[in-house]
Structure 1
Amino acid sequence: MAATKELASLLDELMGRSRNALPTEAPKDFFLSTIALTNFSQTRKPIWVRHCNKMHDERMREAYKKSSRYGKCGYEHDFYCFLRKLHNEMARKITRNRQRLELTQPGGVVSNNEFCFQKLEEKIQVLSEKVTALQAQAENLGVEGNVEEAQKIIAMADELAEERDHCQKVIFFSSLISFETPPGELKVMEVCDICGCFLIVGDSQHRLDEHLVGKQHLGFAKIKETLERRTKYEDGRSPSGSRDYDRGNRMPRADRYNSDRRRSDR
């Protein structure tokens, strides 16, 4: 018994504790890249990037890349779909943060004064009344069977509702900035086009360098680079191969046609 434990300990030391691990005991995306695991492990991350309790053994990754199953298990498709999901969510975050700056920065859509807020509140009230009236009109048209005209009225109501929501956001964000920041201390900000973080324009080079080497920035930069490389790879593939061959390693269609003709002539 002691000899068995000693031998197991020796194997653990030489080959690692995960020497007998199965492929299912490791996450699929780990076989392809460490992007989604390491770069977001200790940072604020999207809700679907969760802590992973599976094995992350580099030897399993290398074994998969050298195996005959490489590229045939569907791991790559799932992995790139996951990266695109992360990238698209970040793109939406960047857009939202830029819109927020447009509303709250000096020289933006609105300045922080009571007169401007009063005008916006009056506009919101007028827009709300118009939206309510249009919705009632559309409902009456629907009851009368005039569906096409009702849809046009609903579209008009939706446009006014969006304008009303925009005015409400202007008041909210401007009030928030005014409350949190003392007068004269509002700094001009910009949004990082990689990770969506707010940056101070003209900030020290040291703080900028710290941001650029942060895990979240590096992680999303790697995601963007990986997706761009994948897009170039897919665009560079010749479509002729997919037309001449069916799925799998089968003979071209022209060869199969000639072969079928020879068999039919016998």
Structure 2
Amino acid sequence: MTDTARQLLQELMGELQGSGKKYTDPDVCKDHLVDFCPHQLFTNTKVDLGPCDLIHDDRLREAYQNSEDKGRLGYEDAFYDRVQRLSNDLQRKVRRATDRITAEADEQLVNPHREEKEEKAIILDERIKLMIPQIQQLGESGKVDEAYEMFEQMEQMKSDLDALKERIDSINPMFKNEKRLGVCEVCGALLVPNDASKRLDAHNEGKQHQGYIRIQKALEEFKRKGGVIYEGRGSGARSRERHYSRGRRSRHDGGYSNRSRSRSPFSRRDKRGHDGHLPARDNSRRRRRDDRY
């Protein structure tokens, strides 16, 4: 640490000590200390994570970034674990939306009321089939005029059926040259590919889009520096953070090895009887070892 950085840190710590707040306090947002708080990225968007009730103080972040504690308290593990899970959730959302659009093919936009048209076509076809024997029966009974009139009705119905089938297979002219809705791979929002450039620019500059860009940049930078994220471990980062904090306290108190040695006499003393001697079973083992020599 340079003299200038050390002086700056001392000034910051002096201000913070005056306020009585430390970056290790439980009510301070540790994500903000590392880089940013995800809750503040998506305020008032469709993916709003809700408010973060912890303290977000840039002075605390600067003090932490310039301290020897940086990277040693587990804050980075917890932060990158959290943003990686947000990135994973986004990728699942993008896949689901893409699959849904591909399956549905925007049928209601491209060909509205298709099912209704198909149902009408089935009914019309059944009516035509029923009219054929009726026309034959009228002709055989000598009612030629009635048979001819019904025949013309049937021909008109056939013409209507052909036109209906064409409408079933046709695409709405409004959407004939229109592409399907697309999914933004950056933030998961639905987009119209041929939308006006101003709308696309507004989307790209929006809070949701920019928030996920910041998450991806943070992850890429972390991995570029050799960082490893243990995906899918849930609260593992938090448990590592607690474990590391205990480790630091134990080292300040004399280290793990001293604590282990300090326990050994007590564990041995626990094995003794009320008279202060080892149980007879242990004495017999000692005698057997002596006999061998």
Give the structure-1-normalised TM-score: 0.51
Q: Does the alignment pair 1:199 with 2:194?
A: no
2:59 matched residue in structure 1: 59
Whole-Å separation in 1 of the counterparts to 2:215 and 2:96: 20
Secondary structure of the corresponding residue to residue 234 of structure 1: coil
When the two chains are superposed, the root-mean-square deviation of aligned CA atoms in Å is 3.3
The answer for the alignment partner of 2:250 in structure 1 is: none
Give the number of equivalent residue pairs: 157
- Structure 1, unmatched stretches of 5+, are 1-14, 119-182, 237-247, 249-266
Q: Is the 8 A contact 2:29 2:37 kept in 1?
A: no
Provide structure 2 residue ranges, at least 5 long, that are not aligned to the other structure. Answer: 1-14, 120-171, 229-246, 248-293
Give the alignment partner of residue 205 of structure 2, picking from 193, 198, 213: 213
Matched ranges for 1:9-20 at <5 A: 19-20=19-20
Is 1:30 aligned to 2:32, yes or no? yes
C-alpha displacement of 1:44: 2.2
Deviations 1:100-141 (A, max 9, x none): 11012269xx977449999xxxxxxxxxxxxxxxxxxxxxxx
- Give 1:231 deviation, angstroms: 1.5
Deviation at 1:30, TM superposition (A): 0.8
Cα deviation, residue 203, structure 1: 0.5
What amino acid maps onto 1:45 in structure 2?
V
1:232/1:224 CA distance change after superposition, 3 Å: same
**Percent of paired sites with the same residue:** 30
Rg bigger for which structure? 2
Which residue does the alignment assign to 1:98?
98
Matches within 5 A, 1:34-183: 34-45=36-47, 49-105=49-105, 113-114=114-115
Letter in 2 for 1:207: R
The question of whether the paired residues in 2 share the 8 Å contact of 1:35 and 1:223 is answered with: no
After the TM superposition, list the runs of 4 or more consecutive aligned residues in structure 1 that deviate by more than 4 angstroms: 115-118, 183-187
What is aligned with 1:228? 220
CA contact (8 A) 1:39 1:216 kept: yes
- Structure 2 contact 33–60 (Cα < 8 Å) conserved: yes
Q: How many angstroms does 1:41 deviate by?
A: 2.1
Amino acid at match of 2:219: L
Matched-pair contact (CA < 8 Å) for 1:35–1:219: no
**1:191·1:198 contact (CA, 8 Å) conserved in 2?**
yes
Distance in 2, Cα, partners of 1:36 & 1:44: 14
Tell me if structure 1 keeps the 8 A contact 2:182–2:192.
yes
CA separation in 1, counterparts of 2:118 and 2:50? 42
SS of structure 1 residue aligned to 2:19:
coil
Partners of 2:223 and 2:117 lie apart in 1 by 47
What amino acid sits opposite 1:94 in the alignment?
V
The AA in structure 2 aligned to 1:83 is: V
